[in-house]
Amino acid sequence: MLEAGKKNPEVVALCADLVGSLKMDAFIKEFPERFFQIGIAEANMIGIAAGLTIGGKVPFTGTFANFSTGRVYDQIRQSVAYSDKNVKICASHAGLTLGEDGATHQILEDIGLMKMLPGMTVINTCDYNQTKAATIAIAEHHGPVYLRFGRPVIPVFTDPDQKFEIGKAWMVNEGTDVTIIATGHMVWKAIEAGEKLAELGIDAEIINIHTIKPLDEKAVLKSVKKTGCVVTCEEHNKYGGLGESVARLLSTELPTPQEFVAVNDSFGESGTPDQLMTKYGLDSINIVEAAQKVIKRANK
Amino acid sequence: MKHKINELEDIAAQVRRDIVRMVHACQSGHPGGSLGCADFMTALYFEIMNHSTDFKMDGKGEDLFFLSNGHISPVFYSVLARSGYFDVSELATFRKLNSRLQGHPTTHEGLPGIRIASGSLGQGMSVAIGAAQAKKLNKDHSTVYVLLGDGELQEGQNWEAIMYAPHNKVDNLIASVDYNGQQIDGPTEKVLSLENLQAKFEAFGWHVINSDGNDMDAIVKALHYAKSLTGKGKPVLNLMSTQMGYGVDFMMGSHKWHGVAPNDEQLAAALAQLSSTLKDY
């Protein structure tokens, strides 16, 4: 935020009583007049953000993913998306990673909600560096964006100086036997799975789709053409997420066996994030098993 | 004064003709609230606001208006057209396929004068606050206006916004409530009582004034007074009494004409009560 704010004086930030969780402190210290503390009133926050764009501002709203989407869906739909407003909706603690707080604070439906809105760009980043690069990139992009990211305590493995291109897949690892398409926290799990698969003699191609909409169709088709089977991985309901976007593409362009590593139409619950990832089938072992299964289905 | 009161009244009469003709032509839309707010909207666009019909979305250096109760789009479209944002002939396309004049206002079709979509109620006050705060950041000393329905105040988001604006000294904002006491299912007092709105807004920290929204002289004076109260640390609320359907006797004072179009006979009866002052579109 601080860097985006330094680059563009029109960037402003809004928060609904979660400044610490959203790591907005540095921005607020540097640009106090460009920060708006809204209080616990997310609907008002989205409306104010839409209004700020009319005066040429580039507002970033910040709260947890559930309160950034489901709680304010109609405000985003009418005042932001339908009104073509340049608002950046930044949502932390997406998926299961609010752990102990339980299902009221976890959301597994937000990608679906946001990608169904015409004109909305939907991004799900995988670590601190990618989130930082994406934050700077979306400030320069004109149009509404939903940026979904996770908790801070996960491995940081992407390049600190990466250039983030909206809508462009990142090839993590080239391979020939199976395509693993992962987003968000599941990218790290996919890398772990790739190592296990290599031990089993399976050469997995791992692609990070950080921009779920617009989807990098070229990258998906190119890889799947080569491997003939695909596993999609996301910390989201299997309904409405990245997996469905990939399936829609493949069913029309290149019908291909696909397995979904995603939450099976369920709410979350309390537990540590790691325990939840295991219970809801989002571990690297689940990706390994899905890869083996899909390879079999593809008769390879 | 840019106009004499009787000139403004003449414009409002034409706006009322436009409203009933638009709603009649497509046999849908909301004549009641539109007629009730014709005087206010005429006063705002022809007398009070400093605005340019050479439309720019950012409206820098101009006063801005937001319509939160988007269903009274006929009055909004008529006033925009009559003040020169687009040709009055386009009013004939209201609610028809491929029109820029959608049932509820939208930016999506690029109609000059519209800065936000509204229709789903309760969102306009927040947007107006954002636009007002952007003006402050831009050191732009113009004023932001917003109109809300009274029934619309049943939406909770309004109260988030009503709490926020005084706390943040959004004092370049004049909100008006179309206080006609009617909503789709009947009188607001029966559906969900608003109780003492003045006391409620004052308790939240607003400067509240009362006005008669169907008396041109009174509404012009009230809006000038409201403007004199800006820049003093508080947002301003204009609690504006109106009659739904004002200007057409058989539509007045009843919720029944909230969202019903007149038939041919009723149209003729309505037009007979409203003189064409600026020529029909």
Q: Among A68, A61, A74, which residue's Cα sits nearest to residue A19?
A: A61
Angle, alpha carbons B145-B149-B153 (nearest 5°): 100
CA distance A5 to A12: 7
Contact B137 A43 (CB under 8 A): no
Pick from A15, A42, A44 the residue to mutate for testing the B interface (most B CBs within 10 Å): A44
What is the helix (H) or strand (E) element at residue A231, kind and residue range? strand A230-237
C-beta of residue B64 within 8 angstroms of C-beta of residue B142: yes
Q: Which residues of B touch A53 (CB under 8 A)?
A: 130, 134
pLDDT in tens, B217-255: 999 999 999 999 999 999 999 999 999 999 999 999 888
For helices B5-26 and B73-82, angle between their N-to-C axes, nearest 10 degrees: 130
A56 conformational bin, left if phi > 0, alpha if psi -120 to 50, beta if neither: left
What residues in chain A have per-residue pLDDT under 50? none
Is B281 a domain residue? no
B124, B128, B160 member nearest A41 (Cβ)? B160
Task: Compute the mean pLDDT over every residue in chain B, rounded to the nearest whole number.
Answer: 97
Pick from A54, A63, A80, A88 the residue to mutate for testing the B interface (most B CBs within 10 Å): A54
Q: Which SS3 state, helix, strand or coil, does residue A235 take?
A: strand
Identify each DSSP E strand in chain B by its residue range. 64-67, 144-149, 173-179, 182-183, 186-187, 207-212, 236-241
Q: Which residue of B has its CA nearest to A33?
A: B137
Tell me if chain B has a CB within 8 Å of the CB of A294.
no
Contact A82 B163 (CB under 8 A): no
pTM for this entry: 0.96
Contact B137 A55 (CB under 8 A): yes
Q: How confident is the model at residue B213 (pLDDT cuts 50, 70, 90)?
A: very high
**Least confident among A12-26, B83-97, B171-185:** A12-26
b/e map A129-162, b = 16+ CB within 10 Å? bbbbbbbbbbbebebbbbbbbbbeebeeebeeee
Torsions phi, psi of A268, nearest 5?
A: -85, -160
Contact A47 B131 (CB under 8 A): no
Is B28 a domain residue? yes
Torsions phi, psi of A202, nearest 5?
A: -105, 125
Contact A12 B137 (CB under 8 A): yes
Q: Which SS3 state, helix, strand or coil, does residue A182 take?
A: strand
Peptide bond connecting B187 to the previous residue in cis, omega within 30 degrees of 0: no
Tell me if chain B has a CB within 8 Å of the CB of A80.
no
Which residue ranges form the domains of chain A, and what is each CATH number?
A: 2-148 (3.40.50.970), 170-297 (3.40.50.920)
Structural domain harbouring B124: 5-272
Helices (H) and strands (E) in chain B, counts: 10, 7
* Tokens linked to B144: 């932001």
Q: Which residues of B touch A117 (CB under 8 A)?
A: none
What would the mean pLDDT of B104-119 be, rounded to a whole number? 97
Q: Which residues of A touch B106 (CB under 8 A)?
A: 82-83
The Cβ-side half-sphere exposure at A23, using a 13 Å CA radius, reads 15
Give contacts of A 225-254 with B, CB under 8 A.
none
CA distance A125 to A142: 19
Total domain count for chain B? 1
Q: Which residue of A has its CA nearest to B161?
A: A44
Is B23 a domain residue? yes
Is B280 a domain residue? no
Is B228 a domain residue? yes
A34, A44, A79 member nearest B164 (Cβ)? A44
The Cβ-side half-sphere exposure at B180, using a 13 Å CA radius, reads 33
What is the residue-wise DSSP string for A108-170?
A: SSHHHHHHTSTT-EEEE--SHHHHHHHHHHHHHS-S-EEEE---S-S---S-TTPPP-TT--E
Q: What is the DSSP letter of B91?
A: G
Q: Among A291, A104, A122, A88, which residue's Cα sits nearest to residue A214?
A: A122
Q: Which residue of A has its CA nearest to B106?
A: A83
Identify the pLDDT of residue A152: 62
Quote the ipTM score: 0.95
C-beta of residue A208 within 8 angstroms of C-beta of residue A182: yes
Tell me if chain B has a CB within 8 Å of the CB of A147.
no
CA distance B205 to A48: 19
Is B278 a domain residue? no
CA distances from A263 to A106, A268, B22 (A): 12, 9, 51
pLDDT in tens, A254-288: 999 999 999 999 999 999 999 999 999 999 999 99
Is B71 a domain residue? yes
A and B: number of Cβ contacts within 8 A: 121
CA distance B29 to B256: 13
B116, B120, B164 member nearest A74 (Cβ)? B120
Question: Which segments of B85-175 does DSSP mark as H helices, in order?
Answer: 124-137, 156-167
A33, A53, A75 member nearest B137 (Cβ)? A33
CA distance A96 to B166: 37
Tell me if chain B has a CB within 8 Å of the CB of A119.
no
Chain B interface, Cβ < 8 Å to A = 57-60, 64, 66, 106-108, 115-120, 122-135, 137-138, 140, 156-157, 160-161, 163-164, 168
Contact A50 B127 (CB under 8 A): yes
Is B84 a domain residue? yes
Give contacts of A 163-182 with B, CB under 8 A.
none
Torsions phi, psi of A107, nearest 5?
A: -135, 130
CATH of the domain at B174: 3.40.50.970
**How far is C-alpha A75 from the chain's CA centre?**
21
pLDDT in tens, B24-78: 999 999 999 999 999 999 999 999 999 999 999 999 999 999 999 999 999 999 9
Q: Report the gap between the CA of A49 and the closest CA in chain B (Å).
A: 6
Identify the pLDDT of residue B73: 98
Q: Report the gap between the CA of A247 and the closest CA in chain B (Å).
A: 30
Q: Which SS3 state, helix, strand or coil, does residue B176 take?
A: strand
